[in-house]
């Protein structure tokens, strides 16, 4: 009898932590690439890494939730990045906590900008060396690129309202203390989008506004996506002063400019069994810098968790009046595995 009681007590003790973690999940992904860069500079040559230059895929992510009364659910996310070939340790991506029901979501912390989240995945080569952001297809990570398609926003108050096919999403930067957390961003900055999603197609409009001691910078974009069978088409037009190729100064204002960049982007993917053919093309114009960039390639999906990608990217922007050209050709082969 005593042995049975001891066994029951031990089993209960071991089961309790797992029961407590029933609504907690851990996910991870690893990506490496072999790529050849030709950019008429000192960085020419073969590289290994995870999306060389910026915005890699590899991550370790913890998510948790708890059902509360009256239809509400509490949730939290902690997300880390790492470089599998650089052995540089973990870096913070997202960390936020909030509550939601069927209509409203409220959260605070560090997270993707809504401007980024609404359409960055229109790029089929996102988080590879063939990606559009920062390469002439979408605004990049320079300056305040975290208000656009790169990195993450700090000190965010985030509200989402959903009603049927319509989603309204607003992020406000709560930063009344000068240069809080070293972000250089001041109170009054915000990001927002409005989207209509009908399943086979969607349309959206998004805007961002960053207030800093070095000036205020704005951007907006409109676009949409259409899917029929195995074909998916997407496009967006972006006009932005943030995350552009050349800015008004250095530091927090570098990569931001009152001379806004206008970027017209389009992409297509087509599935053929385990193979997906993909490409994007974009026209970039910013005062004394303009040109066309594109990527072409594809994916082979061994399973839902394992894939390889290969392709070619060209960024070819011509500068005038002392503005340097931006020229880069990349051939990349990579493998991605999701745990």
Residue of 245, 263, 242 lying closest to 253 (CA atoms): 242
Calculate the alpha carbon distances from 247 to 37, 115, 295, 306, 321 in Å.
24, 20, 25, 39, 15
- The pair phi, psi for residue 114, each rounded to 5°, is -65, -30
320 by DSSP, 3-state: which?
coil
Q: Is 257:241 a contact under the CB 8 Å cutoff?
A: yes
Number of independent structural domains in the chain? 1
In a domain, 136, yes or no: yes
pTM above 0.75, yes or no: yes
Using 50, 70 and 90 to split pLDDT, how confident is the model at 291?
Answer: very high
Query: Which CATH number belongs to the domain containing residue 130 in this structure?
Result: 2.40.160.10
Token readout for 280 is 């994007």
284 alpha-carbon distance from chain centroid: 20
Instruction: Provide the 8-state DSSP code for 41.
Output: S
Using 50, 70 and 90 to split pLDDT, how confident is the model at 97?
Answer: very high
168 alpha-carbon distance from chain centroid: 19
In a domain, 305, yes or no: yes
The boundaries of the domain holding residue 221 are 106-338
Note the pLDDT of residue 94. 94
Kindly report the average pLDDT of the chain as a whole number.
Answer: 87
Q: What is the largest CA-CA distance in the chain?
A: 90
In a domain, 44, yes or no: no
In a domain, 40, yes or no: no
In a domain, 57, yes or no: no
In a domain, 288, yes or no: yes
Rounded Cα distance, 57 and 89, in Å: 15
């Amino acid at each position: 009898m005593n042995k049975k009681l001891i066994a029951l007590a031990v089993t209960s003790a071991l089961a309790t932590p797992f029961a407590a973690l029933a609504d907690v999940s851990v996910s991870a992904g690893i990506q490496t690439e072999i790529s050849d860069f030709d950019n008429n500079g000192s960085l020419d040559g073969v590289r290994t890494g995870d999306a060389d230059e910026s915005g890699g895929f590899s991550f370790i992510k913890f998510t948790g939730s708890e059902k509360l009364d009256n239809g509400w659910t509490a949730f939290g996310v902690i997300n880390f990045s790492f470089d599998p070939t650089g052995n540089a340790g973990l870096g913070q991506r997202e960390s936020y906590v909030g509550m939601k029901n069927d209509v409203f979501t409220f959260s605070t912390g560090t997270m993707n900008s809504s401007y980024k989240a609404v359409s960055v995945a229109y790029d089929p080569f996102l988080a590879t060396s063939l990606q559009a952001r920062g390469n002439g297809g979408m605004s990049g990570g320079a300056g305040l690129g975290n208000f656009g398609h790169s990195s993450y926003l700090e000190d965010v108050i985030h509200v989402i309202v959903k009603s049927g096919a319509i989603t309204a999403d607003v992020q406000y930067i709560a930063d009344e203390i000068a240069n809080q957390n070293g972000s250089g961003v001041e109170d009054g900055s915000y990001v927002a989008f409005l989207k209509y999603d009908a399943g086979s197609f969607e349309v959206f409009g998004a805007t961002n506004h960053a207030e800093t001691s070095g000036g205020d910078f704005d951007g907006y974009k409109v676009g949409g996506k259409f899917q029929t069978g195995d074909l998916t088409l997407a496009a967006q037009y972006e006009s932005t002063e943030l995350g552009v190729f050349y800015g008004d100064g250095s530091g927090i204002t570098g990569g931001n400019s009152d001379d806004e960049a206008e970027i017209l982007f389009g992409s297509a993917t087509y599935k053929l069994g385990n193979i997906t053919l993909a490409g994007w093309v974009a026209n970039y114009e910013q005062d004394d810098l303009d040109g066309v960039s594109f990527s072409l390639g594809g994916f082979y999906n061994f399973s839902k968790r394992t894939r390889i990608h290969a392709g070619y990217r060209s960024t070819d922007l011509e500068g005038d009046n002392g503005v340097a050209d931006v020229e880069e050709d990349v051939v990349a082969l990579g493998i991605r595995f999701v745990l």
